[in-house]
Amino acid sequence: MYVIGLTGGIGSGKSTVGEHFKQRGIDVIDADIAARRVVEKGTPALTNIANHFGIESLNGDGTLNRAYLRSRVFDNSEERQWLESLLHPLIHQWVKRALCSASSPYAILETPLLLETDQHNLTNRILVVDLPEELQIARAVDRDNNNIEQIRSIMNVQISRKERLSKADDILDNSGPLSYLSIAVSDLHHKYLKLAAEQESKDL
């Protein structure tokens, strides 16, 4: 399967771009969904988390108490690392399985952590959704009703814009209107169909 890694900072437009690819019949695997699935009620990872962080990390109904967990790892890099070393391999495996069952001419892996984790090893090409930071913050604040500080603190743990752009094979400038985004996705879609077909003929 020819896989495009779709990434960008919070509020850059990954989900919006992912939707546009879906509308063109492309299977989009969402790493945020993987991150939720691997800690669903009854999973070994959730038991592990409860053993490590205590019973407060579970809600009354046995699901993960995300707010509590966030508060435990927010300012504690050791605990964050513990959690990441538990979850990242599980997310990686979940994504890998989902990509294996994709059936469109190519697949998209939509993930905020493509470049921060080894998820990029699952991809053939990297597409970065980009926009100036001020616009990124404004859109993220608008969407989540979060304050600027919360968005900035999330941005601070993500790779910098400059570094992200330096790893991109393709850059989608999402500072324009949605009509422009649609045209840009169409262009990329045709390019990826061609690249996937070339890859397939090489593999034969």
Instruction: Point out which residues bind ligand ADP (CB under 6 A).
Output: 8, 10-16, 139, 143, 174, 177-178, 181
Going from the C-alpha of 15 to that of each of 11, 48, 201, the distances in angstroms are 9, 30, 31
Our CB check for ligand ADP shows the closer of 11 and 105 to be 11
Residue 68's CB is within 10 A of a number of other CB atoms, namely 14
The residue (of 60 and 177) whose beta carbon lies closer to ligand ADP is 177
Closest distance to ligand ADP from the beta carbon of 10 (Å): 5
In sequence order, the β-bridge partners of residue 170 are 127
- Please identify which residue in the block is written with the tokens 């980009």: 130
Is 106 in a helix, a strand, or coil?
coil
DSSP 3-state of 167? coil
Smallest gap from residue 51 Cβ to ligand ADP (A): 32
Q: Shortest gap between Cβ of 203 and ligand ADP (angstroms)?
A: 32
CB of 18 to ligand ADP, least distance (A): 7
Q: How far is the CB of 197 from ligand ADP (least distance, A)?
A: 28
Cβ neighbours of residue 57 closer than 8 Å, sequence gap 6 or more: 49, 50, 64, 65, 68, 69, 72
Q: What is the helix (H) or strand (E) element at residue 36, kind and residue range?
A: helix 31-37
Cβ closest to ligand ADP, residue 10 vs residue 38: 10
Would you say 26 or 58 has its CB closer to ligand ADP? 26
Helix (H, G, I), strand (E, B) or coil at 21: helix
Q: In terms of CB distance, is 79 or 116 closer to ligand ADP?
A: 116
CA distance 139 to 150: 13
Rank residues 180 and 197 by Cβ distance to ligand ADP and give the closer one: 180
Q: How near is the Cβ of 179 to ligand ADP at its closest, in Å?
A: 9
Q: Report the run of H or E that residue 111 belongs to, with start and end.
A: none
Cα 187 to Cα 18, 166, 170, distances in angstroms: 14, 21, 11
